[in-house]
Amino acid sequence: MQAADVARRRLASQRLVDADFAHAVEVVEWLGAVQSQDYAGGQWALGQRMRSATEDAIEQALTDGEIVRTHVLRPTWHFVSARDVRWMLALSAPRVHAANASMYRKLGLDAAVFRRSNAAIARALAGGNALTRNELVDVLRRARVDPGDGVRMSGLMMAAELEGLVCNGPRRGRQFTYALLDERVPPTDPLPRDEALRALAWRYFRSRGPATVQDFAWWSGLTVSDAKKGAQMLSGELAHAMVDGRVHWFAESAPAAPRRTRVAHLLPNYDEFVVGFRDRGAVLQAIRSLASPSPFDPLFAHVIEVGAQLVGGWRRSLARDAVAVELNLVAPLSTPERRAVSAAAQRYASFLGLALQEVSR
């Protein structure tokens, strides 16, 4: 298997081609977790993997609590299914706390501070209350817990999320709120650690394979030893292939890679097609073949994908009734491929329910 084959297979396993999901929560459960510190970008990541999606429908799934937004796996926000959030937190929170340990010390956050802050937050949110971050700053000050600057408050709230105390509440207009996880998500039975590890490995390799154990460790935040153990527990359900001297795992039942696809995607920053892997070389071949260096960082930029390769970046500007999409193509494309990119821009505008103003350069 060649690197180009890996990239095409990932398009299929990530359901970016032949998308057949009807509901946003189905996408989240297929992928396991979807990075979402860019909230609008995370919503669009879900929408591209559905047969027909609108931003409003995905927002409703978050409002209803079918999808939870919280810190899990790594020290960043993810969308997670309500059915999965508790066992994923139990598996990954200790590692995230460990990764945050130096930050906690620098900010003067210890177990005693967290006990006081969590107690104050729990009292304030009890009974179905949903409060904004600024409102919780006032709550903590009244409880004589110093929220400090923005970074210290972020540490306090991330710890509360990792402990399964809070998660996202319904948005208040465009403001984000926090609510008690136990009041948003029905109780679920805990999973023994090995079962949780196996379940997370299965979600990862079926939806992102072919991928390496190191890719899984990066995405999950787990140790390489645990990542390897998770893959080994799936030995009867995973196939493997050597690519550039490394073992890549994928589901035995994985759909075949499309030989060619005229479908393009405007991927948001942090899309799982890019950020879900430690080694992103398989999708960067077109850019790396250019004589001049790429003008954008594919990990942090909105990127354009054509034929399982990243070929440029894009930006959006919202107006009242329209969205302007600026395309910055850095790799040469054929006329049909350019049409596919324009069609992808139109899909994005339709997802937002706005008219399209496309700008290329």
3-state DSSP of the chain = CCHHHHHHHHHHHCCCCCCCECCHHHHHHHHCCEECCCHHHHHHHHHCCECCCCHHHHHHHHHCCCEEEEECCCCCEEEEECCCHHHHHHHHHHHHHHHHHHHHHHHCCCHHHHHHHHHHHHHHHCCCCCEEHHHHHHHHHHCCCCCCCHHHHHHHHHHHHHCCCEEECCCECCECEEEEHHHHCCCCCCCCHHHHHHHHHHHHHHHHCCECHHHHHHHHCCCHHHHHHHHHCCCCCEEEEEECCEEEEEECCCCCCCCCCCCEEEECCCCHHHHCCCCCHHHCHHHHCCCCCCCCCCCCCCEEEECCEEEEEEEEEECCCEEEEEEEECCCCCHHHHHHHHHHHHHHHHHHCCEEEEEEC
46 shares a domain with 154: yes
Looking at 204, 227, 251, the residue that finishes a domain is: 251
281 shares a domain with 241: no
Mean pLDDT value across residues 290-303: 75
- Does 11 reside within a domain? no
- For the chain, give the mean pLDDT: 94
For residue 193, how many other CB atoms are within 10 A of its CB?
Answer: 12
Looking at 166, 184, 202, the residue that finishes a domain is: 184
**Partners of 15 in beta bridges:** none
231 shares a domain with 103: no
Question: pLDDT at position 295, please?
Answer: 65
135 shares a domain with 34: yes
Q: What is the pLDDT of residues 203-231, one digit of tens each?
A: 999 999 999 999 999 999 999 999 999 99
The single-letter code of the amino acid at 212 is: T
Residue 175 CA to residue 213 CA, distance in Å, equals 38
Q: What is the pLDDT of residues 321-337, one digit of tens each?
A: 999 999 999 999 999 99
143 shares a domain with 31: yes
Q: What is the pLDDT of residues 118-135, one digit of tens each?
A: 999 999 999 999 999 999
Banded pLDDT at 1 (limits 50, 70, 90): confident
Banded pLDDT at 263 (limits 50, 70, 90): confident
Taking alpha carbons only, the member of 10, 62, 15, 54 closest to residue 36 is 62
Which domain covers residue 272, as residue numbers?
264-360
Banded pLDDT at 259 (limits 50, 70, 90): low
131 shares a domain with 28: yes
Banded pLDDT at 48 (limits 50, 70, 90): very high
Asked if residues 169 and 184 have their Cβ atoms less than 8 Å apart, the reply is yes
- Does 94 reside within a domain? yes
- Domain count for the chain, please give it: 3
- Does 105 reside within a domain? yes
246 shares a domain with 290: no
- Does 7 reside within a domain? no
- Does 43 reside within a domain? yes
Per-residue tokens: 1? 């298997």
Question: pLDDT at position 296, please?
Answer: 66
Banded pLDDT at 287 (limits 50, 70, 90): confident
Q: What is the pLDDT of residues 348-359, one digit of tens each?
A: 999 999 999 988
The single-letter code of the amino acid at 321 is: D
211 shares a domain with 327: no
Taking alpha carbons only, the member of 360, 283, 254 closest to residue 4 is 283
Asked if pLDDT for residue 299 goes beyond 70, the answer is: no
Question: pLDDT at position 44, please?
Answer: 98
Looking at 228, 251, 274, the residue that finishes a domain is: 251
Asked if pLDDT for residue 298 goes beyond 80, the answer is: no
- Does 308 reside within a domain? yes
- The CATH number of residue 239's host domain is 1.10.10.10
Strands 246-251 and 238-243: antiparallel
All residues at 6 or more sequence positions from 47 whose CB lies less than 8 Å from its CB, including other chains: 24, 53, 54, 55, 58, 351
Task: Give the up-direction half-sphere exposure of residue 96: CA atoms within 13 A in the CB hemisphere.
Answer: 24
- Does 292 reside within a domain? yes
Asked if pLDDT for residue 252 goes beyond 70, the answer is: yes
Banded pLDDT at 20 (limits 50, 70, 90): confident
- Higher-confidence position of 294 and 338: 338
161 shares a domain with 28: yes
Asked if pLDDT for residue 112 goes beyond 80, the answer is: yes
Question: pLDDT at position 85, please?
Answer: 98
Q: Determine which of 77-86, 207-216, 296-305 has the lowest per-residue pLDDT on average.
A: 296-305
Whether this prediction's pTM lies above 0.75 is answered by yes
- Does 6 reside within a domain? no
**Partners of 305 in beta bridges:** 265, 310
Banded pLDDT at 345 (limits 50, 70, 90): very high
Q: What is the pLDDT of residues 136-164, one digit of tens each?
A: 999 999 999 999 989 999 999 999 999 99
140 shares a domain with 246: no
Tokens 């350019």 belong to: 338
- Higher-confidence position of 160 and 235: 160
232 shares a domain with 151: no
269 shares a domain with 232: no
Radius of gyration of the chain (CA): 21
